[in-house]
Amino acid sequence: MKNIVIINGPNLNMLGTREPEIYGSETLTDIQKLCEKKASVLSLNLKFHQSNLEGELISWVQEAGKNAQGLIINPAGFGHSSVALMDALLAIKIPAIEVHISNIYKREEFRHQTYTGRAVKGIITGFGSLGYILALEAMASLI
């Protein structure tokens, strides 16, 4: 089985209660369960992480680059601000896909650009938790 890592950035641990009109009512645990079920169907081994700490996300990206065949990342707010996270993504040699629950292009202008988006194969944005499932399907076809 191929190893896939899903990394979730800051404030995603607040899903379900944080701005449900934007992010919906699902929790990150709900999304993790959906991803685990889909990964099983796709014969993928899944590791799922979340942190509010930029350095921890960077360490997980670097680890995925050594131990996984693919990476899915929802960098959340760090996508718009972290050159260091972009550099970590550029340094690894496995395919990466960026996911955003909300449509970042329908929100504040500063959210329209992600530094991390420059370092990934593609971006899925605006489909809620379905974005993670679409990313898993895309990753399965990439690897």
Residues acting as catalytic residues = 23, 100
**Cα–Cα distances in Å, from 140 out to 39, 45, 125?**
9, 11, 18
Query: What is the signed CA dihedral for 7, 12, 15, 20, rounded to 10 degrees?
Result: -120
Q: Are 35 and 48 in contact (CB under 8 A)?
A: yes
